[in-house]
Structure formats: C-alpha cells, structure tokens
Amino acid sequence: MSQYTPMIQQYLRVKADYEDAFLFFRLGDFYEMFFQDALRASQILEITLTSRDGGSSDRIPMCGVPYHSAKGYIERLIAAGHKVAICEQREDPKQAKGVIKREVVQVITPGTMMEGAGIQEKENHYLACIERTGQELSIAVADVTTGECKTALFTSVDAAVHELAAYGVKEVVTNGQWSEAEIKPIQARLGAVISVEEMSDAAPFRSLLSALTEDLTIQATARLYHYLHRTQKRSLDHLQAAEPYEIRDYMNIDYFSKRNLELTETIRSKGKKGSLLWLLDETKTAMGGRLLKQWIDRPLLNEQDINRRLGIVEKLLASYFEREELREQLKEVYDLERLAGRVAFGNVNARDLVQLKKSLGQIPLLAGGLKQMNEAELTKLADSLDPCTELFDQLDQALIEDPPIGVKEGGMIRDGFHAQLDEYRDAARNGKQWIAELEKQERDKTGIKSLKIGYNRIFGYYIEVTKANLALLEEGRYERKQTLANCERFVTPELKEKETLILEANDQMMELEYGLFSQLREQVKAFIPRLQRLARMVSEIDVLQCFAAVSEARRFVRPSFSANGIMHIEGGRHPVVEKVMDAQGFVPNDCQMEEGRNVLLITGPNMSGKSTYMRQTALIAILAQIGCYVPADKAVLPVFDQIFTRIGAADDLVSGQSTFMVEMLEAKHAIVSATDRSLILFDEIGRGTSTYDGMALAQAMIEYIHTQIGAKTLFSTHYHELTVLDETLPHMQNVHVTAAEQEGKVVFLHKVKDGAADKSYGIHVAQLAGLPDSVIKRADEILQSFESKELKTAPVQADVISEGQLSFFEEKPAVKPAKKDQSSILSKLLNYDIMEMTPMEAMNTLYALQKEAKK
C-alpha cells in the first residue's frame, strides 16, 4: 500500500470490502474506477480507458463516468449481471484536511434495483435467499421495490429451484457454504447472480418475522433482510412482514408446464405477447398487472374462494356502465406499492407525492362506484378501501399541482403554507422587481438602450454595457467587475446592496423549502403500511374488473365445478390462438371425460390441432381456478391440484441433456408427482427415440397412469398401434382430430371426434411445408412400397419387441450358443437382400436368425 498515493490507498481499502462489485469512487464531478475495475468497465461500457500516476512506478488504469449521467452506466452494468458500489465524498473538499473522507453509501445489485430500465412497471423484481438443512430447504423472496416478502419450504433442490424460476429471480443469496458443483447448475438454471450473506440473526427483524413458525424459513428470511440492509445502507421502512405459504395450497404448475403452456411468456420469443398473461392483461394499474401475474402463477384450490372471485366477475359483467367508470378511475391511480418503497428509500420527489395525492383522491370515487352495484362482496371491497384522508389533506395543502422534478430547486410548496417561506419569497420577488426597475432607470440615465442587468452564479448581479457605449457611463459611479470580448460588466453600490438581500432571501428560501419537503416526506412514511394495504385492495379490484372486461370481449362463460371428477367442456377454445387468428375463425371443440373416463388417446396428423386442443384444456382449467370466466360455451370442471405437461421438444444445452432426456425427465416428474386430482398433458411421448422404444414407453406410461394414478390425461400420439389399448383399458377412450383429402391434398378440419385416426398424412404436411416436388414424389413411392410389403409381413408381438431390443451395455448371453449349424445360419444371412427389406422385415429376419442361433 505504501507505494501508492494516499487517495489510491483509500480506494484500495474501500475496494477490499467490495471485491465482487465495481467501485464507483467519487472524485469531484466524476465516478472513477481503477485497476481491474477500470479495465473491465471500459470494455462493458465502451468508454475510454486512461491511466494516472498513483505513486507507483507503473501508471494505474483508470476510467470514469460523469456524476450527473452515472445512472445509465450503472443500469448497463447491472443488466450485464454485475454489482456497483457507490462510494461518495462525505465532507466538503474545502474543509477537508488531507484526503477527503469517502464511504460506500449503497451497493446496487441485480436483485436490489429500485428504479431504471430494468424495472418493468407490471412485473415484480425479486431477490431470493435459499437455505438448506439436511434434506429440507427454504426459499425467501422479496421485491425491494414493493416491500413484499414470501417464504416457503421444500424437500428437494429441484423443487426449490423450480419455484425460484417461476418467480424470475434476478439474484440469489446463500450462506456461502454451497459447493461450486451445487451452485453452478442453480446459477445456470436461473440465470441469476449468486451472492453471499453471512448474517442470519433473526433478532433485529422480529416484527417482520412474526408470522413465521419454521426455523428454516425464519433463517432464510432473516438472511435476506440482513443482505438488503447491508447493501442498501438506508431506511427500509416499506419492507412488509414475511408471508409464509404452502405450495399445496395452490394449484401446482411446475416450471416446465408454465413454459409449455406459455402462461406468462412465449417459448419462442420469451416475450409477453402471445402468452395467456398478454391476453388477460386489461388491468389499468401497475399494481393490478403484477397481481394478475401472481394469480396466473398460483391458481386457487379452494372452491369457495374461486366462486367468490367468479361471483364478483359476474356482477361486474352485469354492470357495464359502472364498470367502465371504474376503469376510468383506476387509470388515475398511481403505483402505490412502489411509491411507498421510494418514500422509505428517500428518493421520492414532489411530483411523486402529487401523484400520490391524485391517487388518494380517486379512492372515494372507487368505493362509491363499487357500492352502487349492490353486491355483498363488492361492498366489502369498497369498505376496505382506506382513502388516507389526513394524508390527502396534508399533500393538498403543501404542494403545488405541477412541481419541478428536483427537490432542491424550490418551487414545490404552495404560497400560504408556511409564513416564513412566504416572507422569503416576497423579498425575492420584490428584489427582482427592484432589479427590473433599476435597469430601466440606468437606461434612462445613461441613454444606453442596450444596457441590461444580468446574473450568474459566479459574479452575481451585474450591469452589462457594450464597448461602443462605455463613454456614456458616469465616471466614478460604476465599478468594473468583468471584461468580455464585446462588452464590460459593472456593479454600483445600490446593486451590491440589493444583491445581498436578494441572494440571502433566495438561499434561505431554497433551504427552508427543502426542509419543509423533507418533513412532509417523513410524515408520508408513517402512512406506508396503510398505503400498502390500500394498494392490495385496489390491485384486487383492478384484476377482477380485468377478468370481466376480457370475458365480455372474448365471449367467455362462467365455469362450474364437479365433485366427482367429471370434465365436460362444450365448444372449448384456445383463448390466445383464437385472438391471434381473429377473423380467420377458430374451430371450437368439446372435451368430455365422464366419471370413469380418465385417459383420452388423441391421434391425427401433424398440424391438425392436437397440441392446441390439449393446451386449451389446461388453460380453461387454469382460468377457472384463478377466478376468471373461460373460453367455452359451457364448462364443468374438477378442481385440479396439479397440471403437468410434456409438450414440444428442445435440448437442454446448459445441462447437456438431449431432447429425449428432457422429455423423459419431464414425464418422470409428472408420473411420480401426479394424483387422481391432477391433469396430465403428454404430446407424442417417445418420438425422440427409435420406433419400438418410443411405442413401448408410451404404452407403459398410458397403462401406469390409467391403472396406478387415475389422473385426467390427454395423450396424443402418432403410434396408431396404441389405439387398440382401449380394448384392455376400460377408462381410456380414443379420439382423433379430423382431416380430409381433396384432389390429393390434405385439408385440416381441426375437429375432435371419437375413435382413432386412420391415416397420418405426414407426406401431405411435408408438401404443405414446401419440400421440393421430387422429394414428395419419392417419399410417396417409398411409402407405397413399405405399405405393400408390410401387408405380407406378420405383425410383431410386444414380447418379440422386448426380446429383440438392443442393449446399451454389454451383456453375457443367457444361453451359451452352440457351435454346430452355424454354417446354415451364415448361409441364410448371406442370401438375404438387405437393401430390399423394409425396417419391419429386417427386424423380423434378425429376430428369427438370433432365435435359431440360440438353439
């Protein structure tokens, strides 16, 4: 350290405590970075890398960003997955003796961003902590922008990580005791920054942890709160008490199923457009938009709670004019949750508080509109709305309607609010009037029409005269203050005297007004819990009116629920596909699963709509259980406890898993976890491996689900051989998606009917895709050849397939082959024309030869 200058030594001491962050070291009007920080930041931010003398023999790499525009650079570093420690000057440079005192005032991380481009208005921004003891794990998630915190227990790392993925966490805090081999898959899976917090003492946060009873959830949440306080280094009064929840209290939709069903984002673009959330989001407030996403992620299981929401939606649907007025009023409600966070954080400005006042002004109107509908639940909601009248009055009396953005520039407080402030303002205003009068007098006295009185922060007030008119000035009365190229600036005794009075009044006015605003901000802090409760009520109203608006526009109907597991959907539609197709028209379909019918085996050509049919069934169930009407003519549904899907195919390159392995893992998760109250969607299971492997696996899964689980299951397949299973599985039924041939071309009818499909139409689909005619023609010839030969070939029994299955691993033969008669087997093998065989004929021949060789 001794080789460096005192300032660089100071930098290195601070940096030692924040090695995992870029240190923004304040030097005058710049944040500077040195050493490795400078090298890395200059590349990421694309700014100039320079160097400076730091006392050592080698120059020190350095780069910097202006203080006034640092926000954008910080956001870019955070978006790239880094942290930024803000180190400020803590004393006046003019009064400092030696090196100016500096200290870190905040560490900004991906999970603790309060504002900026990375914060989406209708999305939560979660930070998480994961804690482990033996086989039990706990997660705690918090959104520092809104103050909400939730925690839950899990019995496996996979389950905990799936939950964190559903939250879309940006950063995960651990105790630092996880091995690199354990952390890397979690980091890769979530795409989140991993941070370490050693403190987990619950004592400082007892009030926030009062609802928690499990030691592990207390420890995880306390660690999370410690991390927030250590990094933010300021008041976090908006943090709400941690809320424990049980996964089994809501419909469980794992990460894969949420992705496959495109609930909140699409598979292809990872964007909102095209998802169920996109279709439903007619919310008018940011709070409502966030709550809507939370409801989609966690459909209800309690039928009474579901029907409460449906009842409110029904009343809102019947009250068109009142609902439209409600929607207009909600447009004027500001984001109360995040505003409360900014108040606690100390970065709220006067415009924010005016928005708060306007929002509170809408609350009595909202309550009145809800009561007009004469519905018990809506009246309860109206009575729960707290207009915070005292706060509204304070803000209304204190602030002007259109204050400036800055809080230290003045011009925020109303005239008449504070007597001393009014006196200062009067002095400043009168002083400026006096200046204007003096300018007129000086022009008259000197005859210089271009003479003017100006002001700047360095020289104060001055009289400016062009050089051509200097001879007209009275000698001895004007004192030269500044010489410019084309003019001279002067002061007079009268101007100096008035300047002192005006500037003192301005300074005192600014200081007093900022003090009054700070007091007002502190008064608002006391209302934070009430504002947060109000935000929850307003957001619930917003989501329910959104359900009503969408249900009316998209012709949704109210679902009912069956106690005996019956699923009876008439004219069901995929809501998103229907909206996208719009004028082209969507073909609705029924889904009938009476008592005792649990499995639908769906066959039909590609592109006929099998996957859409399966997805729409799941979406109808989810919509019903979040309390929304559903896209159907009629819907009677069970209350599903879980939904599992295996739809689509994709490699998991991060974990090095093939398409087939991903398919098997997702299928295993469904089969192991499902109950007789679950809904399973399996789309073409087994297509990622050989025909016989795939067919055998598909049949085994159908039999297991049918016999052992009893879950409602939609199973689509191209293995037409499986359609005979309805003869041995009494709770299974064949259905197919229809298609027709016209002049050699296939026409998809998209209609689901009972029975099995009789044809695959694969070549027709390839033709629609635009494959060259020569390829289509040759494929048709080969297909006819295969079909004609297969008619002459005896069908292969299931036990034959099993016995003839090739193994991955070397096995010892069960029976030692005899050495005699091998010449006849070899002779037969040499006489076969393998190139003329179909795959089925080759399999039969190989099996026969092997059987003969074993004798």
Q: What's the pLDDT score for residue 799? A: 43
Give the per-residue pLDDT at 92: 83
- Judge whether residue 343 has pLDDT over 80: yes
What's the pLDDT score for residue 605? 80
Cα angle 309-310-311, degrees, rounded to a multiple of 5: 90
Segment of 291-300, 339-348, 845-854 carrying the highest mean pLDDT:
291-300
The mean per-residue pLDDT over the stretch 368-388 comes to 94
Q: What is the mean pLDDT of residues 793-817?
A: 44
**Tell me, what's the pLDDT at 801?**
40
Residue 656 has pLDDT above 50, yes or no: no
Q: At what angle do helices 303-318 and 528-554 cross, to 10 degrees?
A: 70
DSSP code for 709: I
Mean pLDDT of 338-355: 92
pLDDT(824) > 90:
no
pLDDT > 60? residue 814: no
Establish whether 450 is an annotated binding residue: no
Per DSSP, what are the bridge partners of residue 150? 141, 243
518 appears as a binding residue in the annotation: no
Distances from the Cα of 84 to the Cα of 33, 87, 199, 232, angstroms = 11, 9, 21, 11
Q: Which residues pair with 34 in a beta bridge?
A: 62
Q: For residue 606, say whether it is annotated as part of any ligand binding site.
A: yes
Question: Is 609 known as a binding-site position?
Answer: yes
Q: What is the pLDDT of residue 641?
A: 95
Average pLDDT over residues 163-176: 94
pLDDT tens by residue, 361-373: 999 999 999 999 9
- Examine the pLDDT at 584 and tell me if it is beyond 60: yes
Buried b (16+ CB within 10 A) or exposed e, 113-131: bbeeeeeeebbbbbbbbbb
pLDDT greater than 90 at residue 818 = no
Q: Which range is least confidently modeled, 17-31, 377-391, 541-555, 770-784?
A: 770-784
Q: How, if at all, do strands 136-143 and 149-154 pair? A: antiparallel
Could you tell me the pLDDT band of residue 822, with boundaries at 50, 70 and 90? low
Amino acid in the structure at residue 689:
T
Q: Please answer whether residues 626 and 300 qualify as being in contact, where contact means their C-beta atoms are separated by less than 8 angstroms.
A: yes
| Spatial separation of the C-alpha atoms in residues 749 and 297, rounded to whole Å | 33
Q: How far apart are CA 188 and CA 674, in angstroms?
A: 27
**pLDDT tens digits, 490-507:** 998 888 877 877 777 778
Where do the domains of the chain lie, and which CATH numbers do they carry? 6-108 (3.40.1170.10), 126-249 (3.30.420.110), 302-388+527-554 (1.10.1420.10), 419-518 (1.10.1420.10), 560-771 (3.40.50.300), 800-854 (no CATH)
855's enclosing H/E stretch is none
Q: Has 710 been labeled as part of a binding site?
A: no
Which pLDDT value is given to residue 788?
A: 66
> 677: which 2 tokens?
């109250």
Give the tens place of pLDDT for each residue, 620-636.
999 999 999 999 999 99
pLDDT-derived band at 471 (thresholds 50, 70, 90) equals: confident
668 is in an annotated binding site: no
Region 659-670: mean pLDDT is: 81
pLDDT score of 817 more than 50: no
Q: Could you give the residue ranges of the DSSP H alpha helices within 332-474? A: 336-345, 350-371, 376-384, 389-398, 419-446
Residues 808-812 have a mean pLDDT of 46
Local confidence band at 668 (pLDDT 50, 70, 90 cut-offs): confident
Structure tokens at 732: 């299974």
Helices (H), 447-570: 493-525, 528-554
Q: How far apart are CA 339 and CA 351, in angstroms?
A: 11
pLDDT at residue 780 is higher than 60: yes
pLDDT tens by residue, 189-213: 899 999 999 999 999 999 999 999 9
Region of poorest pLDDT, from 245-249, 372-376, 849-853: 849-853
Query: What are the contacts of 368-371 at 24+ separation with CB within 8 A?
Result: 369/322, 369/325, 369/326, 369/329, 370/326, 370/541
398-414: pLDDT as tens digits: 999 999 988 888 889 99
Q: What pLDDT score does 666 carry?
A: 81
Q: What is the pLDDT of residue 590?
A: 95
Q: Which of the two residues, 70 and 718, has the higher pLDDT score?
A: 70
User: pTM for the whole thing?
Assistant: 0.82
pLDDT at 531: 96
Residue 794 has pLDDT above 50, yes or no: no
Q: Check residue 786 and give its pLDDT.
A: 62
Query: 52 in helix, strand or coil?
Result: strand
Average pLDDT of the segment spanning 95-110? 91
pLDDT of residue 599: 95
Confidence of residue 787 (pLDDT cuts 50, 70, 90): low
pLDDT band of 279, cuts 50, 70, 90 = very high
Cα separation, 181 vs 604, in Å, equals: 45
E strand or H helix that includes residue 323: helix 320-331
Of 275, 266, 267, whose CA–CA distance to 576 is shortest?
Answer: 275
Range ranked top by mean pLDDT from 394-408, 768-782, 806-820: 394-408
Convert the pLDDT of each residue in 511-541 to its tens digit.
999 999 999 999 999 999 999 999 999 999 9
Q: Is the pLDDT of residue 14 over 60?
A: yes
Which residues, other chains included, contact 541 with Cβ-Cβ below 8 Å and sequence gap of 6+? Answer: 288, 326, 330, 366, 370, 381
User: For the packed helices 350-371 and 389-398, what is the interaxial angle rounded to 10 degrees?
Assistant: 140
Q: Is the pLDDT of residue 808 over 50?
A: no
The answer to whether 39 touches 61, Cβ cutoff 8 Å, is: yes
CA distance 825 to 850: 9
Instruction: List beta partners, residue 598.
Output: none
φ/ψ region of 761 (left if φ > 0, alpha if ψ in -120 to 50, else beta) reads left
Given a cut of 80, whether residue 759 has pLDDT beyond it is no
How confident is the model at residue 785, as a pLDDT?
74
Which of residues 2 and 806 earns the better pLDDT score? 2
- Is residue 704 very low, low, confident or very high in pLDDT (cuts 50, 70, 90)? very high
